Amino acid sequence: MIPEWLLTLAGIALCILLIPYVLGPILVFFTLRFRMPPTVVPVDPRVHPLPAEARNYLAEAYRALTAEGFELVGTMLLPDLVPNVKTLFAMYVNRPSSDMAMSAIIVAQGGVGGELKTSYVEFVRRFDDGVVVQTNNSSELSAFKRMPGEFTTKFWQVRDIRQLYGLHQLLVERFRQRGQSVNRLDTEYSGDAVRYVAKAVLEETFRDQVGTGYLAEDASGFRPSFKGAWIMAWQELWPVKGIRRWRERHRAERLLAELHTRLPDVF
């Protein structure tokens, strides 16, 4: 027979382990907000001094992207879209292909560990039938539900921007349906990169998630729904996060093994 003290100890341990699964969704529900309209601040690196790490990363991405035919259309800062998170990024367009590209640095401030920096490059091709092909090397998983016609692939292990763009071109061929490539930056926003980011990249993304039940809209912008708070919190906890990361990495490795022999054909 199991001693009563041991059962009590096991119960206390179980309660402690379950605390994040209960408090996490509550914190997300009451604290996470996406303010609209978002604050998108244009940054001129020639005028506004940037930290050496950010300057070097953006300069390296600039050289690689312009060599592939991309044109820099703006460098911007999102200072307060999400509490305690700042995002600095450079936006590019390749007009002949209608590809958009972004090199970004995300800084999460506060917490015991201080600042956490994440940098990545993303390519996006949009089609007039609603299909969107996105290819990046970010190690961060999306908190939102994938939308119909949206194909996002994360090649965490691919740091070479030229190779990443080659993979993106191959994935565009794979996922394209009947639509034609569109350059919404020029056709809808007259080349205004700040307005494009605020409306097409941010606001539309959040509004789409209202339809999934992940977000709700209020007077100040968007916030998690009760359902969304539970999903967004739990998918960041063990073992769900580990399973999600394994699935994402396995899918990327499978695609990379399949496509790498075709990479020279796209250059």
Q: Which two tokens stand for residue 193?
A: 């990169």
**Structure tokens given for 103:** 């090199």
Residue 60 confidence class, pLDDT cut points 50, 70, 90: very high
Determine the pLDDT at residue 207: 96
* Residue 91: band (very low, low, confident or very high) from pLDDT cuts 50, 70, 90: very high
For residue 52, name the pLDDT band (cuts at 50, 70, 90). Answer: confident
Structure tokens at 173: 């061929």
Where is average pLDDT lowest: 63-67, 110-114, 153-157, 229-233? 110-114
| pLDDT reported for residue 264 | 63
Mean pLDDT over the full length of the chain = 89
How many CB atoms neighbour CB 21 within 10 A?
Answer: 14
The model carries a pTM of 0.91
Residue 78 · residue 86 · CB < 8 Å: yes
Q: Which pair of structure tokens corresponds to residue 95?
A: 């007009």
What pLDDT sits at residue 7?
46
Per-residue model confidence as pLDDT tens digits over 104-160: 999 887 544 446 688 999 999 999 999 999 999 999 999 999 999 999 999 999 999
pLDDT of residue 261: 81
Q: Given this model, what pLDDT does residue 111 score? A: 44
* Residue 84 pLDDT class (50, 70, 90 cuts): confident
How much is the pLDDT for 267?
47
